[in-house]
A = this chain, B = another copy of it.
Amino acid sequence: MIDQPDNRERQEAGQRMYDLIVELYPICRSITGNGVRETLEIIGKHIPLQLVEVPTGTRVFDWEIPREWNARDAFIKNAAGDKIIDFKKLNLHLLNYSIPVHQKISLGELKQHLYTIPEKPDLVPYRTSYYQERWGFCMSQNQLDSLEDGEYEVYVDTSLEKGHLTYGEYYIRGETDDEVLISTHVCHPSLCNDNLSGIAVATFLAGEISKTSPRYSYRFLFIPGTIGSIAWLSRNESRLPHIKHGLVITLLGDDSGFTYKCSRQGDATIDRITTYYLRKRFKENSKTIDFIPYGYDERQYCSPGINLPVGCLTRNPYGTFPEYHTSADNLQFVKPERLYESLKVLRELMDMVEKNDTYINLNPKCEPQLGKRGLYDKLGGRSDSKTMQLAILWVLNQSDGDNDLLDIVQKSDIDFQLIAEAAEKLKESKLLKTVR
């Protein structure tokens, strides 16, 4: 039983998640390096996170852990010696994984190393070059257009050396070995929705679940995108059969409605539960889409040889909003109340995951006599019926080992919580047992 009435502490979670985002925002993260370590250490103040270091050069399936990248400083000075670009003010200005450079060059040469978004001339883009060595800067198109001819000094003080890829893992042991995987990426620098929002919500969700006694075990992964999930999967293949449900979570702080992208399986329990829940709770202001093989780490979890029941929960999805991967994805773009709402949605989804059992009716031949067990209204012949009694009849009739509670909810159009309560009553009356 994960979901519980909100109390003050919980209601304040929205502001506390936002505060965590404020703390993490200035850090320059990448797929490796001290920015990730620093981020995981801050998360570790909230939950007992285990840090894992994978050495450069380690084979992880088809990939190899790259050299570790660290950035200390970077700027561009104009002929007058003014810093027109300063990494220390906004780390997006530096092409992520840029190699070091220090030289004076003409505007023409400089332009070969500048990245902008011409159609959004005010915004600084976020760009990376993990697997090809180059250096570069990101700036707004407006700034680029204003640059005058002359000599510029470019300075990038980074290192790209043997080291490690770092990720964080938190495992909450439940009643069973079967587990729920929650994965979120920690490789993006100063971008709030993508993905400090996912980091904050995952951290607080983990904290809440750790205070309950869940049926499932829960594994929270805070990993660099792509290479991080590939590394984790390659090192944990024997765990995979235990993963019964999973979500990649990200983009959870803005004002838009929720989007759920199904797992590759398409009809996994997590797909059915999330689709049902969002539709029921948010109606048209939410949507479910089929799996597509691009986006976040669900690409790896749902590769054909892994094929886990892992979907992706976001608000506005990957790449579809104007602030995406730009300097506009900042502290103004995410809101405490939206973070809180996202946390609540996840809490309620996990509660459904916990309760959604498949049962066997132990008295399958005709209806059991409910009256003698106090499960039936004693005065017959009435033309109205109470919903709980209907719920009891539905659960009894459909519990043949093939239907889980969500199936029964969908056939009966009775609320999930009521169906779950009916199942609980029937289990207590020894009329139902769980299929294991």
Given contacts A129-B380, A264-B397, A305-B363, 14 further A-B contacts (CB under 8 A): A60-B366, A61-B366, A128-B380, A131-B371, A131-B372, A131-B378, A132-B379, A226-B367, A233-B365, A293-B394, A299-B397, A303-B365, A304-B396, A304-B400
A32 interface residue, CB < 8 Å from B? no
Contact B366 A62 (CB under 8 A): yes
Which residues of B have CB within 8 Å of A380? 127-130
State which of B305, B364, B369 has its C-beta within 8 Å of the C-beta of A304: B364
Q: Which of A21-69 contact B (CB under 8 A)?
A: 60-63
Which residues of B have CB within 8 Å of A299? 367, 393, 397
A300 vs chain B, min Cβ distance (A): 5
- Bound: A132/B132 CA distance, A: 82
Also in contact, A303 and B383, with CB within 8 A (given A131-B371, A132-B378, A294-B393): no
State which of B233, B383, B396 has its C-beta within 8 Å of the C-beta of A324: B383
Which chain B residue shows the least CB distance to A326? B383
**A residues in contact (CB < 8 Å) with B:** 60-63, 96, 125-132, 226, 229-230, 233-234, 264, 290, 292-294, 299-300, 302-306, 319, 324-325, 361, 363-369, 371-372, 378-385, 390, 393-394, 396-400, 411-412
Contact A294 B381 (CB under 8 A): no
Which chain B residue shows the least CB distance to A307? B400
Contact A132 B371 (CB under 8 A): yes
